[in-house]
Amino acid sequence: MVSRVIPVDPFDVVVFGATGDLSTRKILPALYRRFFAGQIPPEARIIGAARTDLDAEGFRALTRTAIAEHVGAAKRDPEQIEAFLRCVDYVPVDANGTSGWQELKALIRPGVVNAFYFSVAPSLFGDLAERLHGHGITTDDSRIVVEKPFGRDLASAQALNATLAAHFDEHQIYRIDHYLGKETVQNLMAVRFANILFEPLWNSQYVDHVQITVAETVGVGGRGGYYDRSGAMRDMVQNHMMQLLCLIAMEPPYHFDPDAVRDEKLKVIRALQPAAQSDIVRGQYLPVKGDPARRGYVEDVENPDSRSESYIALKVQVANWRWQGTPFYLRTGKRLRARTSEIAITFKQPPHSIFDEADDSWRENVLVIRLQPNEGMNLKVMIKEPGPGGMRLVQVPLDMSFAEALGEEGADIPDAYERLIMDVIRGNQTLFMRGDEVEAAWAWTDPIIAGWEARGDRPQPYDSGSSGPEDALMLMHRDGRRWREIRE
């Protein structure tokens, strides 16, 4: 199967924070891959911007290294790399100072789409918006791309939205949640709304419960300071997991159109019931004995009194007609048994069994959408066990790995950043969060965090390499359910 690459028109994209980690690991390699695919024309301009005093050649050298380190060998074609580097330029700019802005302005071409990627610390987002507008660099058609985290609570998100809104219209603001750029996440919408098969069953009458898992094997690494001020609730649940929940729970939009999709997601967030503290389990990973490289959470963040969680599991109810009575169980954590992200929709058992099976507890159909590794889907169905042994049932997977089903194309799924950056250039906001969505998500999250902060709750310790704290198992057991195994 050959996918169509539709080239975009020439554009200017400015990457603020171009010398940083996200830019060199994700943004620059993603732009190169789209260039390699033929989607970015040679007339496009990629302008790095940061305080470091580099010239264009110096930044090209840095970009070359980023490509060498973060693009697979199959796409590292020397001629293509040199052609791409001819699109690359650099200007030293101070986001909260005065230097560099006139030079930047001189580089932006009138008449082509221009986009400004804010890959800097969130404290600089407002400064960038103000200066871009103040120096007359942006027009009504310019786009700004804002990285996460978007605020740390409702008040700070509202303040940031207000600052951005003072200089840019909502249709110009692209708030990134890279989970939305994943192929399988968009496939979730295709599976639901382009097939007749699932949607009639997609409600509390037929769905027993939903599990969303984002498990990591790594600890907080070098991000300890940032992470400890945030915790898993702010870092993962308020944004990524909430977005996944929305895509599962939302009503069909009237059209696959940015505002139609985001209106439906917003309704889901507003329908979330406040989560009771008894429906939440938080944890912190313990050190691995005898392995100084794998310290415990409090050692990693250098805060023995830390109350932030590296693990959270919670039971969430969407209070509307479609989902009343179907719980959504969310869990995410660091230093867990395996690195895996998945959504599992567990359907109810048939109302009556005509087969004489002693144990029918495992009979439910489960639709699993894997985000990583191996993006794909898997539907567990019951069939007759082959052979002459009578009517015995067995559960088998109808497995669709994109890599297998779509051959080379499927094995070469674009990175989320590739798709999202191209959407910015095309002016498509469907996969970006709207300001009101972000605020609604914080409005739901804030009181939960305030609750455990007020009580001074301490997360429970859990073993590194485990599935999380014991109490998280109880969260499901007491409802007569169990978590899916965390494994790759």
Q: Which residues are annotated as a binding site for substrate?
A: 178, 182, 216, 235, 334
Query: What are phi and psi for residue 423, nearest 5 degrees?
Result: -65, -35
How many H helices and E strands in the chain?
A: 17, 15
Nearer to ligand NAP, 17 or 296 (CB): 17
- Cα separations in angstroms, 457 against 307, 393, 449: 7, 47, 10
- Residue 59 or 444 with smaller CB distance to ligand NAP: 59
Residue nearest to ligand NAP (CB): 20
Residue numbers belonging to the annotated binding site for NADP(+): 51, 148
Q: What angle do CA 198, 202, 208 make, to 5 degrees?
A: 120
SS3 at position 212: strand
Shortest Cβ distance from residue 286 to ligand NAP (Å)?
Answer: 25
Complex with ligand NAP: residue 221 or 386, whichever CB lies closer: 221
Give 198 or 226: the residue with its C-beta nearer to ligand NAP: 226
Please give the structure tokens belonging to residue 484: 């899916």
* Shortest Å distance, C-beta 447 to ligand NAP: 24
Closest approach, Cβ 330 to ligand NAP, in A, equals 20
Q: d(Cα 110, Cα 262) in Å, to the nearest integer?
A: 31
- The secondary structure of residue 223, as a DSSP letter, is G
Query: In this complex, which beta carbon is closest to ligand NAP, that of residue 23 or of residue 138?
Result: 23
- List, edge to edge, every strand of the sheet that includes 113-118: 88-92, 45-50, 11-16, 113-118, 143-146, 173-175
Told to judge if 240 belongs to the known catalytic residues of this protein, a careful annotator would answer: yes
Nearer to ligand NAP, 96 or 139 (CB): 96
- In sign, the C-alpha dihedral spanning 300, 304, 306, 309 is positive
Distance between CA atoms of residues 160 and 153, nearest Å: 11
| Minimum distance, C-beta of residue 134 to ligand NAP, in the bound complex (Å) | 15
| Chain contacts with ligand NAP (rule: CB under 6 A) | 16-23, 50-52, 93-96, 119-122, 124, 147-149
Residues annotated within a binding site? 51, 148, 178, 182, 216, 235, 334
- Alpha-carbon separation of residue 149 from 123, 230, 332 (angstroms): 10, 9, 17
Among 167, 240, 255, 477, the one annotated catalytic:
240
Only one residue has tokens 């069953």, namely 201
How far apart CA 370 and CA 372 sit, in angstroms, is: 6
Tokens 């009578």 — which residue?
Answer: 390
**Contact at 8 Å (CB) between 145 and 55?**
no
CB 67, min distance to ligand NAP, A: 17
Provide, rounded to whole angstroms, the least separation between the CB of residue 215 and ligand NAP: 18
| Residue 311 · residue 233 · CB < 8 Å | no
Sheet strand arrangement including 393-401: 393-401, 376-384, 366-372, 340-347, 207-215, 328-333, 311-316, 280-285, 460-462
Cis preceding-peptide flag for 373 (omega within 30 of 0): yes
Dihedral sign for Cα 454, 456, 457, 461, please.
positive
Is 53 or 291 the residue whose CB approaches ligand NAP more closely? 53
Q: CA-to-CA distance for 475 and 481, rounded, in angstroms?
A: 9
Write down the least CB distance from residue 48 to ligand NAP, Å: 8
Residues labelled as active-site residues = 240
